[in-house]
Amino acid sequence: MSFLPRKAMGGPISSRAWMSFSQPASRTASRKIIQSKPRSRTTSKLPADVCRYQIYDSLQAFSSSIAAMLSSRAVLSSIGVGDTKASPTAALLLSVLQESVGRLATILFAHRFGTSLEPECKMYRLMADVLNDSAFILDVLSPIFPKPIRIVILSFSSILRSLCGVAAGSSKASLSAHFARWGNLGELNAKDSSQETVISLMGMLAGSLVISWITTPLATWTALIGLLSIHLETNRRAVRAVKMRTLNRQRATLVFHHMQRQQTVPSIKEISSVEHIFEWDGVLRTSTRDIMGYCDIGTPFLKLLEAVSESQTFTKASHIQQQTLSQILSLYNSSRYILWHDRRSTKDVPRFNIILKKGAEPTDLLIAWWQALFHAQDDSAAGQDGLEEKLAAFERSLSRAKEFFERYEKSLREKGWDVDNGALETCSSTRVVFGES
């Protein structure tokens, strides 16, 4: 049935008839407009930890901005501002020296610790501010020393500040990727940068008032220590508020012991509440946090050759036991890694090396880490000298680790743990290719 206005049939249009005709369509269009209105993904479903992190991060940035102004005033005094005998050329050369050593430190630090910055982003986020605050202290100390020592102190301060830049930049990027769960990384970074700009501006305005009131050394040090204490504490709380979903070495160990003890997969919140911000790299701990061994992931194949070789006392040459090596490779034939004792391993403190094969995935690394924990727990495996006994112990721990992962893999994913993101490698590792058919 067609609905035509009366004008189309030769008569005038009735306003009442026109309204009764157009209102349903208008309501339908309104609903479509309301439903299609874009919503910000950063405000609709924010992770539970981002709000607390942003609050404490803003507070630490505010206190850091004020402390930076006290530090800058000390640096200006050190390079001769206000001194008629000071040379602009000397100040420029000092600035060049600081920039040079700072950039060299940046390159070396990124080369050495670049791989571990993402898996240990919480640790490096806090460490960055410790380095930055140490640079502030050195800057304020510099005016009391003679010029030669002052140059060394300011150069070392520049190194610390450069290391802070690398650690803070990469760790913030990792945390932003953690918060951006719906592909809104660009939007989140833009808002975070805007917030940081506003906080820094407020800090500079407040710092302008502070440095005009504080003129004596005692007042300067009192204010600096107070600001740095607030800065570090708020930063510690900001980092503690973050609940990472990835399994780095510490979290993988905590999850392992919880599942072994409780027979259930822990939540992300439970592990976040008990994990430490700073942890030794490669340490194997018991459920009571006692050290029971060490393990390195991604070591070169040469480490395995050294472990199975016999050294000659006089010639210092090494003879590789080919049969021993073949049996070890046969044990891990169906695995994408090889776990074996390090040559420095002892009965009291076992040390392991994980050699990764080509195609090793994050789940393989997790199984390897849990196998190392199983093996370190095995009292019968400690102090064994015979090859057959060692192979049996490693075969036992290998089967237990695989069965352990298969049993809890589904529950781990349901609890929100990201087992497909490689957070166990903290250094540049190698992959071994034995041959392709």
Residue-wise pLDDT tens digits, 270-294: 999 999 999 998 999 999 999 999 9
Same domain, 228 and 255: no
In order of 47, 52, 251, the CA distances from 275 in angstroms are: 19, 18, 7
* Residue 261 within a domain: yes
* Residue 18 within a domain: no
Task: Among 189, 208, 241, identify where a domain stops.
Answer: 241
Same domain, 279 and 189: no
Report how many domains make up the chain: 2
What are the phi and psi torsion angles at 285 (to 5°)? -115, 155
Same domain, 257 and 304: yes
Same domain, 208 and 268: no
Give the domain extent around 411: 249-432
Same domain, 418 and 330: yes
In angstroms, the CA 428 to CA 111 distance is 9
* Residue 131 within a domain: yes
The radius of gyration of the chain from alpha carbons, rounded to an integer in Å, stands at: 31
Q: Biggest alpha carbon distance in the chain?
A: 118
In angstroms, the CA 337 to CA 371 distance is 11
In angstroms, the CA 304 to CA 316 distance is 18
Same domain, 191 and 165: yes
Q: Which residues of the chain have pLDDT under 70?
A: 1-48, 80-86, 183, 310-320, 379-385, 435-437
Task: Among 241, 265, 300, identify where a domain stops.
Answer: 241
> The domain that contains 103 carries what CATH number?
1.20.1250
- pTM for the full model? 0.81
In order of 61, 112, 160, 179, the CA distances from 117 in angstroms are: 21, 10, 17, 17
CA 424 remoteness from chain centre: 11
Same domain, 233 and 254: no
In angstroms, the CA 87 to CA 149 distance is 18
Same domain, 232 and 321: no
Q: Which residue has the tokens 């202290």?
A: 137
Same domain, 266 and 194: no
Same domain, 113 and 181: yes
Residue 302 has, within 13 A of its CA and on its CB side, a CA count of 4
In angstroms, the CA 124 to CA 235 distance is 11
Task: Among 190, 217, 241, identify where a domain stops.
Answer: 241
What would the two tokens of residue 42 be? Answer: 């950063």
Same domain, 227 and 258: no
The DSSP bridge partners found for residue 277 are: none
In angstroms, the CA 33 to CA 81 distance is 62
* Residue 155 within a domain: yes
* Residue 40 within a domain: no
* Residue 3 within a domain: no
Whether 337 and 371 have beta carbons less than 8 Å apart is answered as no
* CA triple 408-414-416, angle to 5 deg: 105
In angstroms, the CA 123 to CA 175 distance is 12
* Residue 290 within a domain: yes
Whether 98 and 158 have beta carbons less than 8 Å apart is answered as yes
* Residue 15 within a domain: no
The DSSP bridge partners found for residue 340 are: 353
Same domain, 74 and 218: yes
